[in-house]
Structure formats: C-alpha cells, structure tokens
Chain A
Amino acid sequence: MSIFSFFRSAPRPSAVQAKERLQIVMAHERAGRSGPDYLPMLQQELLAVIAKYIDIDQNKVEVKLDRGGDCSTLELNIELPAREAAKALKEAAKAAVGKANGGAAADDDESSDSVKMAAGGALTNGGIKKRR
C-alpha cells in the first residue's frame, strides 16, 4: 500500500460494494430460510391489535423495512381516518414502530410498549447478528 493512499480518499471500487451488498442481503436470507415468512403474520397481528382501538383502512398501512449489516429498521405507518386523527394527538397520526438492532432488541423485551416489542423480537429472529 502506498503512503499516498493515506491522504487520498479513493472511491470504493464497485466490486467492494457488490460484496458488501451480497453479504448483507444473503445473511438475512439465510437467517430467514428456516421458519415461515414472519412479515405477513407480524403485520396481521399488529393490525389486529391496532384495529381493536382504532378503525383503520387496511389500504392506508405502509410497512417499510431497511436491512442493514448491524441494524435493521422496520417502520409501520398507519394513516388514521380523519375523525380519529382529529381526536388523536398530532404525533399519534404516524405510528412508527421499529429501529431495533440485534443488541438493543433484547433490551426492548421488558418494554411496556407491546407494539414495539413485537417488532423488536421479530427482527432479532431474522437478524444478521444471531447468525454470526
């Protein structure tokens, strides 16, 4: 390695990016290979809980996932009906669930927030850390 490479931030070669992307996506896939695909069930159960309290439109539910090497984020956005939204606090209009990583998820287990716990637990099962 040349001494100059210390001072120059060379762009990462595309092959390095390819390897990193593959490692992340494949670690998640291998971890999830045993057992059923939990996301549809997770969503149904979460929605069932929420529907007990709020009348929600199943079409206005958005589930976002960002799988990372150390940390995955699961985000659940539920658009509340106008009448309910007026009643609810402004922050409550967007129910965000998630940001659980392998380590932090264990801490969430004692959380009194049941929705958050469900997401954290599920991600730990499918997560990359457990496999390593």
Chain B
Amino acid sequence: MGKIIVMTSGKGGVGKTTSSAAFATGLALRGFKTVVIDFDVGLRNLDLVMGCERRVVFDFINVINGEAKLNQALIKDKRIDNLYILPTSQTRDKDALTKEGVEKVLNELSKEFDYILCDSPAGIERGALMSLYFADHAIIVTNPEVSSVRDSDRILGVLNSKSRRAERGEEPVTQQLLLTRYDPERVERGEMLKVDDVLEILAIPLLGVIPESQAVLRASNVGMPVILDEHSNAGQAYIDAVGRFLGEDLEHRFVSVPKKGLFSRLLRRTA
C-alpha cells in the first residue's frame, strides 16, 4: 500500500508546487515509485514546474469522470525512472473533485506506487480539503512571515478535524514543517522570523529549511524540479529534507550565515 503525502500550506505562493515537484523527484531518486498529483483544478501548474506541460493528454478529472483510464492520464517523467505526474484539468472547477472519485483514484494508485504526493491548492476549500482528506502524512510549507505562519496553523487545525484519519478517530496524520524562502542574513539582521520562532508557534517537527535561492526561479523557468540542481543550496536542502522524511538524522544546513573567511570575502559567492 502506498503512502499518501499532502503538501499543503493554506496560504498561496509559499512554494507548495515547487516543493511537491522537488520532493516527488527526490523520493523517486531514492528508488521509490512515486506519483505527484495536481489538486489545483482550473489553475494547473505542476505540469509546468515538472516540465511536462506539452505532454498532457488526459487529466485527473478525466479519470474521475471515467473519460480516460488512469494509466492514460499518468505522465512518466523523462528524466527520472519511477516518477509519474498526474496533471489536473485546466478547464473545470474544484467541484469536479468528488470524495468518491478522488478515493477511487488514490486507491488504484496506492496499489502500484510507494508514495502518492498530493499538491494542494491554496485555501481551505474543496480542492485543499480533498487533497488532505486521505493523507497519511502532511508536509506544511511555510514562509517565515506572519500571514503564512497563521495560515499554516489554520491548515493544521483542518488536518486535525477534517481529514479521514481524524473523522475515523484513527492515528492522526503526521505533520512536518518545511520552512521555505528562509534568508539567514535577514534573520541575523532581525528582519525575519527565526526557524525556532516558527517552530515554537506551530509546534510540529521540522522536516527542512529551504533557503531563499535564485535556483528556484531558474529551475521553474526550464521546467526542472530544483532538487535536480544539486549545486544549489535549495536543491541540497530538498535532498536533505527527503532524507529526513525517510528517517535519516541529518543536520540542518543553510540556517545560519556562513562564517566568511578572507578568501570567500574576496570571491563572494552568489549561488
């Protein structure tokens, strides 16, 4: 049985899709058969971030409506074995996501895949609810910024009350924090919330800290998950986060300003 992960945040624009693409790719690189599903019906973007936008034939909603078979809608990644993308519809709306339909697709996927990663839309309406309802694990994507932290807390409340595990009184959905767009220099100047501040407020375990990085925009420009840019800080931070998700004990990197020696001060790195 595959494990269902939801990448969620409440707030928009914090990096859910970037993180979903990176995380799914990271799990597939570790040899797990992984599928990443776009739940943002009507505002499809995972396909662009994954670089498969030209190959979308059928989508998640076609499968739910019985207009196409699941294996016709799944897009196999061209770079990584074991990695598949299930794009969503660009023309329908979130009402197309029925609980029964989503459950049927997830059940079918979980027979074949080790991990099913659900990329949630922003908000706490139908799309977001359907993406988290069946989850075993939740990764909460948060920026060190007041509105994002508050919305993350709100979505944690939803997970604890409206997920299937909550409704059935089962073991709760595991929750981990992925803090993105972290800028240690601004933290040092006192302009940004510290990792510890966010952890204190949200009180969930830390999965990873992804530093603010120019590599993220470069990667999405060309349709490549940023985790494949192994030279970038962001790519390495995602690799570490995937390792931690799989139970490895890894030290958090990129959380403080590196001590600059004379040499690096002369040759200032901009990566």
Contacts and interface: CB of A to CB of B under 8 A. Distances in A.
Contacts of B69: 58-59, 61
Interface stretch (B4-12, B50-58, B166-174, B194-202): B50-58
Contacts of A24: 54
A64 B71 CA distance: 11
Contacts of B270: none
Nearest to A39: B57
Interface string B54-66: 1111100010000
Interface string B199-228: 000000000000000000110111100000
A51 interface: no
Interface residues of B, number: 22
B256 interface: no
B48 interface: yes
A62 interface: yes
Contact of B58 (A18, A25, A40, A66): A40
Contact of B222 (A17, A39, A62): A17
Contacts of A25: 48, 53-54
Instruction: Identify which of B57, B62, B67, B222 gathers the most chain A CB atoms within 10 Å of its CB.
Output: B57
A29 B56 CA distance: 11
Q: Interface size bucket, A side?
A: 20 to 34
Contact of B72 (A14, A15, A63, A67): A63
B170 to A, nearest CB: 33
A4 to B, nearest CB: 24
Given A58-B69, A61-B69, A18 B55 contact: no
29 contacts: A14-B222, A18-B220, A18-B221, A21-B48, A21-B222, A24-B54, A25-B48, A29-B90, A32-B91, A33-B91, A37-B89, A39-B58, A40-B68, A43-B68, A44-B67, A59-B69, A59-B71, A61-B69, A61-B72, A62-B71, A63-B57, A63-B58, A63-B72, A64-B55, A64-B57, A65-B55, A65-B56, A67-B54, A67-B55
Interface of A: 14-15, 17-18, 21-22, 24-25, 29, 32-33, 37, 39-40, 43-44, 58-59, 61-68
Interface of B: 48, 53-58, 62, 67-69, 71-72, 89-91, 217-218, 220-223
Q: Which 9 pairs show the lowest CB-CB distances between chains A and B?
A: A18-B221, A14-B221, A40-B67, A67-B54, A65-B57, A25-B53, A14-B218, A63-B57, A17-B222
